[in-house]
Structure 1
Amino acid sequence: MSKAQNNHLHLISPISTMPKLLKFCYFIFTLLLFSCGNDKAEKTVETKQVKEATNDTEQNDVITNDTKTILCFGDSITAGMGLEDSNDAYPAVLQQKIDALGLNYTVINSGLSGETTSGGKNRINWILNQKVDIFLLELGANDGLRGVPLSETRANLQTIIDVVQKKSPKTTIILAGMELPPNMGQDYTNEFRQIFADLAEKNKLAFIPFILKDVGGVADLNQDDGIHPTVEGHKIVADTVWDVLKPIITK
């Protein structure tokens, strides 16, 4: 492993100027606390959940055989970490866009704060016990934070893709790319970015090059940790995802 790979990373976009770089490098230690610390902060949230049948007899009316499912499978970005209301996270914003068009899709938020590609690989079979029409894969950033070898990140993501394609061959997969800070070194940064582009091309997947486009590194669109998007930041993330998702569900 190179010297750069032994450094801890944090979840922001490449920064065009040195002052911004220094500012956001300051948040590396903070992010480690969020991603590796208190287990109580880790949670799975679901967008537009239907009520338990024991509590709401209308459940069968909400989900029918005709309802299609979009499952967002990711880490704290997908989970909406730090937001007062998980309904402000980008999966819920996607649901609002879908409802506005009168489309029969339900968005499920399967984000888990601190999740790595290894953790995602371990829970993918359980997640696929439900019907999934569109699978949005947003994982990898925490691997960089923890110094996971890039070859392992690549292999884990490929395994997740393989499981989805084998267990649910009719499911459309959208792969969300991620960026690392430039202080890790140009070679390392480029290799990490290339993982997602390569997997999208190899597996012929719909592709979002950078899910935090126009949000990562922008102070006003991130919470105090400088890492996780605010409510407004999540709206922009939703727009970025929507650019790829909308053509798929409206064609």
Structure 2
Amino acid sequence: MIKQFLGIFAIAIFTFACSPKSEKTVPPVSQEETTVKKEQKLILFFGNSLTAGYGIELEDSFTGLVAQRIDSLGMDYRVINAGLSGETTASGLSRLDWFLEEEPYIFVLELGGNDGLRGITLSETKKNLKAMIQLVKAKYPETIIILAGMQIPPNMGQEYIKEFEEIYPQVADEEKVKLIPFLLDGVAGNPDLNLPDGIHPTEEGHLIVFQTVWENLKDLL
């Protein structure tokens, strides 16, 4: 009996985080509050190091700034950052299922940049982008899908660069999804807005990327 009492007392302390001297207890979350939290719509950002906020604090990344803007407006949405540094379209396709256990209200796909930097066959990149979009559509037909367009540095030859850029509008048109023409518009190529590697945006660069993303996102919320 004493052991049961001690066990219950310990659980109560852990659950409500009461100090030993406090006579008050924190009231449990109401059913209504629980329902509201469950009904928050999900915005899923799925991408590589750009989405992950490489080199800066996560809250300063464009996805973190989107989450902060949504919170400041009191909107019933929550943001999940599923960015992974080094991700290619092939590796993204292989792990996407892990993030589709819950239906996203909006799915933002930001992949392909690492494919271009590695000189991966363009037909493979296009096929993988389409496969990821089709996977989301098949599982959640009502999900709004946004494809973030990318460009690559001029070290792969002009023909490859041109064909790479054309992949994104082609995929968006063929799959009937919304397109952000170039995610890094106004940031790419500016040393003041990028880390020393010349690829990943600084905090100031991410602020501009956030503005680009938000312009494409806000009317959908």
**TM-score under structure 2 length normalisation:** 0.83
Choose the corresponding residue for 1:80, options 44, 53, 56: 53
User: 1:126 & 1:68 partners in 2: Cα distance?
Assistant: 18
Unaligned stretches of 5+ residues in structure 1: 1-53
Residue identity opposite 1:99 in structure 2: D
C-alpha distance in structure 2 between counterparts of 1:63 and 1:71, whole Å? 19
Match of 1:113 in 2: 85
DSSP-derived class of the 1:184 partner = coil
Q: State which of 196, 201, 210 in structure 1 corresponds to 2:168.
A: 196
Shift of 1:73: 0.1
1:4-19 equivalences under 5 Å are none
Which protein has the larger Cα radius of gyration, Structure 1 or Structure 2? Answer: 2
Most deviating of 178-187 and 113-122? 178-187
Distance 1:231 1:61 in 2: 35
Give the one of 68, 77, 82 matched to 1:96.
68
Q: What residue number does 1:217 align with?
A: 189
Any conservation in 1 of the 2:117–2:152 contact (CA below 8 Å)?
no
Deviations 1:43-97 (A, max 9, x none): xxxxxxxxxxx89986x749723200100000000001111x2111111101122
| Per-residue deviation, 1:98 | 1.5
How far apart, in 2, do the equivalents of 1:161 and 1:226 lie? 29
Give the aligned residue type for 1:144: G
What secondary structure sits across from 1:182 in the alignment? coil
Tell me: CA distance 1:62–1:183, structure 2 relative to 1, closer, same or farther (3 Å): farther
1:105 to partner: Cα distance: 0.8
Cα gap change, 1:94 to 1:55, in 2 (>3 Å): farther
Deviations 1:7-44 (A, max 9, x none): xxxxxxxxxxxxxxxxxxxxxxxxxxxxxxxxxxxxxx
Shift of 1:181: 2.0
Q: Which residue of 2 aligns with 1:156?
A: 128
Q: Secondary structure at the match of 2:75?
A: coil
Q: Point out 4+ residue stretches in structure 1 off by more than 6 angstroms.
A: 54-58
Match of 1:41 in 2: none
User: In structure 2, what is the equivalent of residue 181 of structure 1?
Assistant: 153
Which has the higher relative contact order, 1 or 2, with Cα contacts under 8 A spaced 6 or more apart? Answer: 1
Shift of 1:195: 0.5
Q: Secondary structure at the match of 1:144?
A: helix
In structure 2, how many angstroms separate the alpha carbons of the residues matched to 1:169 and 1:86?
30
The superposition leaves residues 187-235 of structure 1 with CA deviations (integer Å, 9 ceiling, x where unpaired) of 2111101100001111111110110011111111111211111111111
CA 226–67 in structure 1, closer or farther in 2 if over 3 Å, else same: same
**Structure 1 equivalent of residue 214 of structure 2:** 242
Find out whether 1:70 has 2:65 as its counterpart: no
Q: 2:203 & 2:16 partners in 1: Cα distance?
A: 30
- Which range moves more in the overlay, 150-159 or 92-101? 92-101
Q: Secondary structure at the match of 2:38?
A: coil
Cα 1:102–1:159 shift into 2, 3 Å: same
Of the structure 1 ranges 69-78 and 101-110, higher mean CA displacement relative to structure 2 is found in 101-110
Q: Which whole-Å CA distance do the structure 2 matches of 1:155 and 1:61 have between them?
A: 41
* Counterpart residue type for residue 207 of structure 2: K
Cross-structure match for 1:166: 138
1:34 is aligned to: none
TM-score in terms of structure 1 length: 0.73
Partner SS for 2:43: strand
